[in-house]
Amino acid sequence: MTVPAVKVLGIDAGTYDVQRLLYHFFLKCFWNPELDAETNAVINYDWYHPQLCTRHTLPEVKSWFAAAGLRVDQQCVDHYGITMRGTRVA
């Protein structure tokens, strides 16, 4: 579905499937059937507990990898934040 920008809700104009539109902008509700109910609940609780949440920039996260002697192998910046994976430089 294609949606217009809705600034008051923080929705960017674009094309989303219904699940992603709801997940990105209204309700982040994680479930992994390989985990037990308590673990899934803890993950969801973490999403909605802002006093335990911090925000960082891509350059900041890259600097942590560099300081730890890690090469960045994968990075992604999306609606969920920053995901980065690396390996130790020999």
- Domain boundaries defined on the chain: 1-53, 55-90
Q: What is the pTM of this model?
A: 0.56
Asked if 11 contacts 5 with a C-beta cutoff of 8 angstroms, the reply is yes
What local confidence, expressed as pLDDT, does residue 62 receive? 97
Residue 32 pLDDT more than 70? Answer: yes
- Angle ∠(12,9,28) on CA atoms, nearest 5: 85
- What's the whole-number mean pLDDT along residues 25-48? 87
pLDDT tens, position by position, 41-85:
998 888 777 676 788 999 999 999 999 999 999 999 987 789 999
